[in-house]
A and B are shown apart, each in its own frame.
Chain A
Amino acid sequence: MSSENETPDLTRDTGLSQLVEGTTTGVFALCALVTLVTTVAIFVTLLRPAVDFFASISVATFLTGTEWSPNPSGGSLAFGIVPLLIGTLTVTITAAFISLPIGTLTAVYLSEYASARVRAILKPMLEILAGVPTVIYGYFAFVYVTPALQATLFPNLGTFNALSASLMIGIMTIPMVSSISEDAMNAVPDRLRNASYGLGATKYEVSTSVVIPASISGIVSSYILAISRAIGETMIVVVAMGSQANMPQVRDAILGIPYIHPADVLLQDGATITVAMVNIAVSDLTGGTLPYKAMFALGLALFVITLVLNVISDIIAKRYREVY
């Protein structure tokens, strides 16, 4: 009867199996940490030369200067990020005007109106086309969209201009918005929809007052992803918008508040932060010079922007997440 109190050993914990368990866990942990370490390493790599850069050019000059001419081959130097920021902002906002509404409407169609079969065909098509190399979009903008815009809407549009580049970036990011938003809308349980129909709501009312509010955190995440993609896009901008950092003319409004007319930016060529980095990188520069370090400062600016957008997206996703 004494054996009743002893629990039999069912785990077969030999030294070898424990070793295998521990090793596999450790190896997988290491692999996951690679991503973490890479992120930190990128930040540190950017930070050191950027700090050097800010020792010779003050942060205030960098953030408020209105002229950007890094001239890696020699000549006058000016490191003001404002024209680049204006370029990036213009492109991002214009692209968002295209991708967010069209992407959302597409998502509503796919999730609420389309039959299961239609959705099974259309959605993969959209996702595949999101993977088309961006240099192709850029070329399309340069060869087709700019001449078409010149012929139809803006006769005085430059050969390189922000408008056609932004339009193409907008189109490129539509699949991102529609696909992720559709996932979120699809996750809304049918009982919510049915309850709403039961109350006599029409399909449109169900979409706008039940499905969209319930999936808002996913929709906003898709918006932020599309926006950060637009900020980071380089190839389309290089091909269709040019690479000259121009400061647009600042006009005085009636109330005395200076402003920049959107047409001054959209119809002209310009540069974004990413393009300015490309320009320095592809020129024959030597390490340690000021333009070289400026590249790191720009990279740091982009990193910070990406980080901030990610944090915002996380906060929104947590704040509005609905769990069913």
Chain B
Amino acid sequence: MSKTQNSVGRAGSALQQRVDSFGRTVVEMDRTSLLFAVVQLLLILGAFASFLIQSPWAMTLLYAFLLVTGIGWARRQELTAKLLTFEMTALTLSTLGLIAFFLFLEALPALREMGLGHVLSPFGSNQWSVSQGQFSLVPMILGTLVTTAVAILIAAPFGVAGALFISEIAPDWLREITKPAVELLAGIPSIVYGFIGFTIINKYVSNLFSITPGGAMFTIGIVIGFMALPTVVSVAEDALSAVPDAMKDGSVAMGATDWQTMKSVSIPTAFSGVSAAVLLGVGRAIGETMAATVMISHSRRMLEPTVYNVFDSTETLTTLIASGYGTAPPESTYMSALFVAGVLLLVIVTGLGIVSQLIQQRMQRKLRGGQ
């Protein structure tokens, strides 16, 4: 109890200190600087806001901002540099925040009309039918889950083992080849993966398992798994090489072999970082659109005969948006339902991102404390 009060009190006094120091900074500035800073901030804010409300004043304000910044650069370079870098950071974050806000706003009508339960609950009709006005996202959520599960079954083991090899075992010359290959793999546009999957892997898998060639979730999962592979490898490798050499050397000096060192020193120490890598891979797999769009059948229904039949084909959340936005009439429930899918994606991917960030931070704290 007193602990909570203490921490609240500390947070309060920290805030107080920050406000005080900000106040001091403001008071210490000479009047011209203060005026200039305020005008600059107001102008960029005004330009941004009037662009958003589509007012023709946006450009005038932007030019005025550039003019004031130019004058500031000549007269008060130090202050201008600080303000400019701050404004750009704030601008980026607010644009990205606005995108999230816009998604929620557009998703509201569908949620209001259908109810959150109907859209998301697996115990309802589970039907997506535009003609009947049924917009249940459950088949698409299932599709996303299934492809992501297959993808991560490929990306996680290969990725983590690959990272272990690159950071712990590989001789220098092999590392020199493998690391650029991973980077190249990460850089290849997703459409290239998509159409290789569509033209080659699709046919191969349907021949192998004697299924109709229609973009089975299994095939799409494989392709997405290979796309997520470089993400897992590079983040896991970062985590593994962050393990202090002193710890590994200590283990080797005790007579442990490479594998024993990895098993009992490197992996446990870097475990949180490695799991963050896998989570990021999951995020990448969920958010992937293009590769899946060209391969998938776009039949928006539950998988049959069982819900976990990976050789059937349905739709994922991302491909739903990609294939639906062109045909959905604006302002309709259909369109709004697509935005619900967008919100869902944003929430899932952001959630995964936050969790993996927290894990990575915890690992860094632990390593710093352990040294």
Contacts and interface: CB of A to CB of B under 8 A. Distances in A.
Interface in A29-45: 29, 31-36, 38-39, 42, 45
A143 B86 CA distance: 28
27 contacts: A21-B259, A32-B161, A106-B88, A106-B89, A106-B92, A114-B89, A127-B357, A133-B287, A133-B342, A135-B318, A136-B99, A140-B102, A148-B52, A148-B58, A152-B54, A171-B96, A204-B82, A231-B189, A232-B188, A232-B191, A281-B198, A281-B294, A282-B293, A299-B191, A302-B188, A302-B189, A314-B180
Secondary structure class of chain B's binding surface, majority of residues = helix
B66 to A, nearest CB: 13
A277 B195 contact: yes
Contacts of B230: 35
A212 interface: no
B36 interface: no
A46 B342 contact: no
Most buried by A among B189, B230, B294, B342: B189
Interface residues of A, number: 89
Contact of A129 (B96, B164, B361): B96
Given A106-B85, A203-B78, A299-B195, A178 B188 contact: no
Contacts of B92: 102, 106, 126, 171, 174-175, 178
Given A21-B258, A113-B85, A131-B284, A278 B290 contact: yes
Given A32-B162, A122-B89, 15 more contacts: A17-B257, A106-B92, A113-B86, A114-B89, A128-B350, A129-B350, A133-B342, A135-B289, A143-B106, A144-B52, A171-B95, A171-B96, A274-B189, A277-B195, A302-B191
Contact of A39 (B82, B168, B181, B194): B181
Interface of B: 50-52, 54-56, 58-59, 77-78, 81-82, 84-86, 88-89, 91-93, 95-96, 99, 102-103, 106, 157-158, 161-162, 164-166, 168-170, 174, 177-178, 180-185, 187-196, 198-200, 226, 229-230, 233, 255, 257-259, 262, 280, 283-284, 286-287, 289-290, 293-294, 318, 321-322, 325, 342, 345-346, 349-350, 352-354, 357, 361
Interface in A255-278: 274, 277-278
